[in-house]
A = this chain, B = another copy of it.
Amino acid sequence: MRHPERPPEPGKFTRREFERRVERACRLMTRDKLDGILVTSETNLEYLSGFTTQFAWNTPTRPWYFLLRRNGSGVAVIPEIGVSNWRSTSWVDEILAWPSPRPENEGLDLLSKIVTGTRRRYGRLGVELGAESRLGMPAGDFLRLKRMIRPVQMIDGSAVMRELRLVKSKAEVARIRHICELASDTFDALPGFFNVGDTEKDLVRKFQADILLRGADKTPYTAIGSGRGGYNSIIAGPTDRKIGAGDIFLIDTGSRYAGYFCDFDRNYAIGKVRDPVRRVHDLLYRATDAGIAAARPGNTAADVFAAQARVLVDAGIELGNVGRFGHGLGKNLTEPPSNMPGDDTQLEPGVVLTIEPNAMYGRGKILVHEENIVVTVDGAELLSRRAPREMVIIDA
């Protein structure tokens, strides 16, 4: 897979990026009979409004509200402290602000006035209620707002957001590709900065520093598993365990660039790889290939699971306890769909997925591979640099 030259600001959004999002959102609102959609979570608020901030999502003191009306106009209801930050990042000019903190009424009066003043065709407001969503406001305020906006009803709007975000634009894919390339570079560099005897914590510190210096904005998720002949957890760590000869370790990173995540892992062995591991590694490599091949328009997320699982099941391998073999990827580290039986999400060009088969072996050991791809008309295109065919061996 050839990687194109990196532009100075990969995936820079034009005004058109947001126009397209709003046009699609309005069509979906009409389909679902919503007069508007209210978003409060980091990813959905940033997706619709463009507002970019570290501040809002690191402090739960103040909530931030964005209402997109079905006519395509938007209004921010935000704390005064954020107004200049909003103006410099969002396409939305209509801002209502209140002096915050004001715990007895954190913007609810402004917000309910805006909601009830919105042109009412259906009397229904979309809010984040459904699977994999989170509110960015206190639940007590949510219940209060529900009463304040009557007779307007709150309806689950997460289907709209899910559908909007499932298919990524070229610029979004460029951002994900960029962070995947940075992570690929850090994984390639790892044997150079790892020292035998490093603890998991030492190694994760160096890993995180390396990817930040290469250009990642944040590295919120960097898990590690290590152990003699293999590891037994893929979502834990780092611990104070020293990594030494005979060990195998995994690093899995969810790092972020310009609001978009990568999510993939690499495995390393210190000194040698024993035959049973070599076999599982080989099967997972082939399962990954099969998953990548199945990630094409016309197939479903369940098909991507089945293609991976077949390779393992045919070899008599016990599947891991992760519950799925990959998932959607974008503004969240994990987002719909799930590559698992029953998820009939149709793949189409622009869908970004992780391909993530895992297998149990030995006494409670697990091995996992992971790559990131984007579905195109011609099938999957790798965003991560494909892992080496054989597990990377670092001298003991």
Contact = CB atoms under 8 A, between A and B. Distances in A.
Contact of A54 (B132, B140, B221): B221
B59 A332 contact: yes
Contacts of A101: 323-324, 338, 340
Interface string A6-32: 000100000000000000000000000
Nearest to A236: B85
A114 interface: no
Interface string A154-193: 0010100000000000000000000000000000000000
Contacts of A128: 138-139
Nearest to A130: B140
A59 B134 contact: no
B60 A132 contact: yes
Interface string A75-100: 00001111011001000000000011
Contacts of A60: 132-134, 332, 334
Contact-residue bracket for chain A: 35 or more
A254 B58 contact: yes
A58 B236 contact: no
B221 A58 contact: yes
Interface stretch (A66-74, A207-215, A275-283, A384-392): A207-215
A84 B134 CA distance: 25
A329 B58 CA distance: 12
B79 A323 contact: yes
A78 to B, nearest CB: 12
Most buried by B among A58, A210, A218: A58
Given A81-B322, A213-B206, A139 B135 contact: yes
Contact of A327 (B61, B129, B137, B334): B61
> Counting chain B CB atoms within 10 Å of each CB, which of A132, A221, A335, A338 scores highest?
A132
A139 B140 contact: no
A1 interface: no
A117 interface: no
A220 B58 contact: yes
A205 interface: yes
A175 to B, nearest CB: 15
A307 B194 CA distance: 51
A103 interface: yes
A333 interface: yes
A140 to B, nearest CB: 4
Given A53-B235, A54-B220, A61-B334, 8 more contacts: A54-B221, A55-B235, A81-B235, A81-B322, A101-B338, A103-B132, A132-B138, A209-B212
Query: Nearest 8 pairs between A and B by C-beta?
Result: A129-B140, A209-B209, A55-B235, A59-B334, A103-B131, A58-B221, A85-B236, A61-B334
Interface of A: 9, 53-55, 58-61, 79-82, 84-85, 88, 99-103, 106, 127-140, 142-143, 156, 158, 205-206, 208-210, 212-213, 215, 218, 220-223, 232-233, 235-236, 240, 254, 321-324, 327, 332-335, 338, 340
